[in-house]
């Protein structure tokens, strides 16, 4: 697939078919994705790839904690935004679109938490990739490299007919991942990627996110 086409096609997929993803395909995707750049070629990323019973255990342990009101405990700073900011507006626009497509009214106190739970269940994807980095690398340094590889994973996945959703939600309870996926304390858990064959009939997969025009974001200097 042409790179530009892949960039245009990639979108967050939040509804999947149950079909399993062959290990060889996931392996191939990670191998290709690891051509990503990283500072001084440090390659800070480590992968834990989950499917089957292990993933089921993790999904339901996450939900148990969420339902019990246990506060999420991510291991790096999750994006925050000032209340009146453009960032908040963009977040609200996304949520509005998802809830509208899913037919969930704003005031629906039952369905909204149910939607939240889907993220903590990796959107019921048949597989999930957890990315962690060695704590010796420090807190923010390795994140740029991780950003590069997660984009690579999502783009390459398209070549195999797979959809992805990068998600902080999947790493909100690191102790669950440590318990079932045996990720040691020496590794900082950064991000999860749900991966599987998209169910294009799932309403939230019809979300079309917008982007700010580049002119509003760019300063051009020295061109004329
Ligand atoms: C670092 C990061 C964390 C994200 N975490 C979540 C998440 O927890 N739940 C979710 O539904 N989407 C999550 N997303 C997906 C974004 O909402 C999505 O990328 C954004 O709305 C743009 O939409 P698109 O991916 O369809 O282009 C995350 C994306 C990134 C890059």
Q: What is the pLDDT of residues 50-72, one digit of tens each?
A: 999 999 999 999 999 999 999 99
Structure-token pair, residue 214:
């580049």
* pLDDT of the residue at 81: 86
Burial class (CB in 10 A: 0-12, 13-18, 19+), 33: buried
- 166-177 burial, b at 16+ Cβ within 10 Å, e below that, comes to bbebbbbbbebb
* pLDDT of the residue at 68: 97
Across 58-62, 110-114, 142-146, least confident range: 110-114
Q: In this structure, which residue's CA is closest to atom 29 in ligand 1?
A: 166
Ligand 1 contacts CB of residue 168 (under 6 A): yes
Structure-token pair, residue 111:
């369905």
Q: Which of 6, 12, 202 to mutate to test the pocket of ligand 1 (most atoms within 8 A of CB)?
A: 12
CA 109 – ligand 1 centroid, Å: 23
Q: In this structure, which residue's CA is closest to atom 10 in ligand 1?
A: 167
- Alpha-carbon distance 45 to 38, whole Å? 9
Band (77; pLDDT cuts 50, 70, 90): confident
Over 80: is that where the pLDDT of 101 sits? yes
Is this prediction's pTM over 0.85? Answer: yes
CA 224 – ligand 1 centroid, Å: 38
Q: Which residue did the predictor score with more confidence, 130 or 108? A: 130
Ligand 1 contacts CB of residue 62 (under 6 A): no
């Amino acid at each position: 697939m042409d790179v530009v086409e892949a960039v245009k096609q990639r979108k967050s997929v939040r509804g999947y078919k149950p079909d399993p993803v062959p290990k060889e395909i996931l392996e191939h995707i990670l191998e290709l994705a690891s051509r990503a750049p990283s500072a001084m070629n440090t390659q800070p990323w480590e992968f834990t790839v989950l499917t089957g019973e292990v993933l089921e255990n993790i999904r339901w342990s996450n939900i148990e904690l969420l339902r019990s009101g246990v506060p999420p405990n991510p291991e790096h700073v999750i994006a925050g935004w000032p209340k009146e900011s453009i960032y908040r507006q963009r977040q609200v626009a996304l949520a509005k679109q998802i809830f509208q497509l899913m037919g969930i009214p704003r005031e629906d106190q039952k369905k909204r938490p149910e939607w939240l739970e889907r993220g903590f269940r990796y959107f019921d994807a048949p597989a999930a990739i957890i990315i962690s980095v060695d704590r010796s690398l420090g807190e923010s340094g390795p994140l740029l490299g991780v950003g590069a590889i997660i984009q690579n994973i999502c783009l390459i996945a398209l070549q195999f007919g797979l959809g992805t959703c990068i998600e902080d939600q999947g790493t909100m309870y690191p102790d669950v991942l440590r318990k079932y996926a045996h990720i040691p304390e020496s590794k900082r858990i950064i991000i999860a990627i749900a991966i599987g064959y998209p169910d294009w009939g799932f309403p939230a997969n019809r979300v079309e996110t917008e982007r700010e025009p580049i002119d509003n974001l760019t300063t051009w200097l020295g061109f004329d």
